[in-house]
Amino acid sequence: MQTTDKLKTSFFQKDVKITFSKFFLACMIYLVLPIVIFFIGYLKPVWAILFSVLTVGSAAWAYLDIAKKKPETALAENERSVTLKYSYFLWLIPFALFFLYLGGVGEFAWSIGDHRVRYATLNDLINYKWPVIYDFSTQHNPVVAETLGEGKVAFAYYFVFWMVPAVVGKLFGLLAARIVLLIWSAIGLILIAIGALILYGKQSRFLFIGLVLFAGFDVFPYLYNEYISGFGATWEDWTWHFRVVGNFYQLMNVFHQSLPGWLITLLLLLCTNSKSIGLLGSLMFCYSPWAAIGVLPMCICKLIITNRKLNAKEVLKNLFTIGNLVAPVVFLVCFATFYTANSNATYDYGFIWTFYGNKFTMVIDYVAYVVFEFGLWVLLIHKKYKKDWMFYCAILTMLIIPIYKMTGPNDLLMRGSMAPLFAIGLYAVMFVTDSFNEMMEKGNKKVKPRLVVLSLLVAAFTSFNFMLTSTLLTFMTYAKMEPETDIKTGIESFGNINDEQYIVMVQAQFYVYDYENNVFFKYLAK
């Protein structure tokens, strides 16, 4: 017995070295597999085979290029690594699952209202033949049936993230798919943790927790609006037109966009050549066209950084590669035609000042957005990262992207800011982690590191509130202490909407009318 315990202890104390090339390979498998499933499930055989081969080939070429030994390159990708103990994963895996469970992924815990859409998306990908087509005659609610009338519509949305769980669901049912969705999301979050640790350079539990909890200093405008101005804002939504949210709320709301978005951002921050930047940027477009807008400046910045000391011939050689040319063309042809099939998905768009009657109010909102969402963090950490071009690119993107608004809640800013805000948050959390490690040193009584750690705890006010709310409401639901509010009852399926209040939203965001004459459904889809 003692021998067995010693063997277990010695095994979990062993180290595993994770290089950037191995991390890149894992990320490519994770990001490309759902896309290939989409191609096979949605496209005509000729396009499915062609696009799948080109996509997998581009990802394989990118990995082989990164995995090459480059002794002449001081900062070659394969030299970046982190060494972790096996015991670290015994801690990381349960915490990743726990955070996502509290975030409502899979709808096992209390979930925010948007999960009605998330649940319906997975449900329909399982129960309908691909491509998903709805016949209005299947609507059971008489009000919904009367409003929609007769006919058929196609389903279009950025649902690539659901493809792996959907395949499992077609084989084993919805419950199995929901479990796999939670596990698949956890794999993504674990990869994000590993990527952040590679960038940081060493093992840290605090870094992962801090990254999940990271947010802007929303607590200050929230308290002002709640107790002084009487605006009555919620924790994150203290301004309507300049809305960005913290990391945990991103997981609660748009895990299908944030997880791949954060992973791609990490790959951009870690890579040291420009031969696969096009592949990375266009991968984001497959998962979220909004987030791809915010990734684009970071791709351009990385291209400049990695080529600024090369001659024209070398630059052209780095730019005109399989990784930069093939995948972007494939994804643009397929997903641009798919997403634009629904012209009603974008509404309330224009320059931000057209949404304000009082320009002074707009300036105040913009300044508050800059200061509290990321400005205070930038002020705190700028000295450490003052030579990092990607850091300044992220800041500049955050400053510029609110100029134009698209959709009522401004998805362009909320999702377009995903990559740059995550980059700033990652820089900030690494800075705070250094302070935390300094604070934990024996005999250290310095005030500064304690104040820095306190700043993260203050900023995590909203994340703590969401976690506490989810915990309490989940417990109360399972304990039958209050009537159960089933997230599935509102919509359940876009082909059979239960509650008529969702008709307009579903029509605008998910239905493609006259799809037979649309480029994607006419020429590419089955």
User: DSSP characters for 15-75?
Assistant: EEEEEHHHHHHHHHHHHHHHHHHHHHHHB-HHHHHHHHHHHHHHHHHHHHHHHS--TT-TT
Cα 25 to chain centroid distance, Å, stands at 19
Q: Mark residue 125 as left, alpha or beta (left: phi above 0; alpha: psi -120 to 50; beta: remaining).
A: alpha
**Averaged pLDDT for residues 149-164:** 95
Is the per-residue pLDDT at 392 higher than 60? yes
Is 56 within a domain?
Answer: yes
pLDDT of residue 73: 43
**Residue spans of alpha helices (H) in 103-173:** 115-127, 142-148, 163-172
Is the per-residue pLDDT at 168 higher than 90? yes
Per-residue pLDDT band for 70 (boundaries 50, 70, 90) equals: low
Is the per-residue pLDDT at 6 higher than 60? no
**Averaged pLDDT for residues 118-144:** 94
Is the per-residue pLDDT at 494 higher than 90? yes
Is 514 within a domain?
Answer: yes
Is 351 within a domain?
Answer: no
Q: Which residue has the tokens 């804002």?
A: 233
How far apart CA 383 and CA 377 sit, in angstroms, is 11
E-assigned strand segments in 319-429? 350-351, 404-405
Average pLDDT, the chain: 90
CA neighbor of 239 nearest in space, from 122, 414, 118: 414
**Residue spans of alpha helices (H) in 460-491:** 461-478
**Residue spans of alpha helices (H) in 376-417:** 376-381, 389-400, 411-416
Q: Which residue has the tokens 């698949």?
A: 184
Is 422 within a domain?
Answer: no
Are the C-beta atoms of residues 308 and 285 closer than 8 Å to each other? no
Are the C-beta atoms of residues 207 and 197 closer than 8 Å to each other? yes
287-305 core/surface letters (b: 16 or more CB in 10 A; e: else): bbbbbbbbbbbbbebbbee
Is the per-residue pLDDT at 480 higher than 90? no
Is 232 within a domain?
Answer: no
CA distances from 36 to 260, 283, 420 (A): 15, 12, 27
Higher pLDDT, 443 or 498: 498
**Averaged pLDDT for residues 199-203:** 95
Percent of the chain's residues with pLDDT above 90:
68
Domain with 253 in it: 17-223+246-287+294-346+430-487+510-524
Is the per-residue pLDDT at 101 higher than 90? yes
Are the C-beta atoms of residues 243 and 233 closer than 8 Å to each other? no
Number of Cβ within 10 Å of residue 379's Cβ equals 10
Is the per-residue pLDDT at 78 higher than 60? no
Are the C-beta atoms of residues 323 and 274 closer than 8 Å to each other? no
**Averaged pLDDT for residues 449-458:** 94
Is 397 within a domain?
Answer: no
DSSP state of 134: E
pLDDT of residue 426: 97
Per-residue pLDDT band for 72 (boundaries 50, 70, 90) equals: very low
Per-residue pLDDT band for 160 (boundaries 50, 70, 90) equals: very high
The mean-pLDDT minimum among 7-11, 67-71, 233-237, 416-420 falls in 7-11
Q: What is the pTM of this model?
A: 0.93
Is 90 within a domain?
Answer: yes
pLDDT of residue 75: 44
pLDDT of residue 77: 45
pLDDT of residue 5: 53
Is the per-residue pLDDT at 159 higher than 90? yes
Dihedral pair phi/psi, residue 85, rounded to 5°: -80, 150
DSSP state of 335: I
The mean-pLDDT minimum among 147-161, 306-320, 388-402 falls in 306-320
pLDDT of residue 11: 65
Is 370 within a domain?
Answer: no
Helix (H) and strand (E) counts in the chain: 25, 9
Residues 6+ apart with CB under 8 A from 491: 116, 117, 119, 120, 497, 498, 499, 502, 506
Per-residue pLDDT band for 232 (boundaries 50, 70, 90) equals: low
The structural domain count of the chain equals: 1
**Averaged pLDDT for residues 244-252:** 93
pLDDT of residue 258: 96
Number of Cβ within 10 Å of residue 482's Cβ equals 9
pLDDT of residue 485: 53
CA neighbor of 12 nearest in space, from 97, 99, 92, 100: 92
Is the per-residue pLDDT at 483 higher than 80? no
Which amino acid belongs to residue 88?
Y
Report DSSP letters for 85-108, one per residue. EHHHHHHHHHHHHHHHHHTTTTSS
Q: Cα angle at 398 between 393 and 402, to 5 degrees?
A: 140
pLDDT of residue 228: 73
How far apart CA 8 and CA 426 sit, in angstroms, is 34
pLDDT of residue 445: 82
pLDDT digits (tens, 9 = 90+) for 355-373: 888 889 899 989 999 999 9
Per-residue pLDDT band for 71 (boundaries 50, 70, 90) equals: very low
The mean-pLDDT minimum among 188-197, 253-262, 343-352, 381-390 falls in 343-352
CA neighbor of 117 nearest in space, from 466, 469, 510: 510
The mean-pLDDT minimum among 2-6, 17-21, 149-153 falls in 2-6
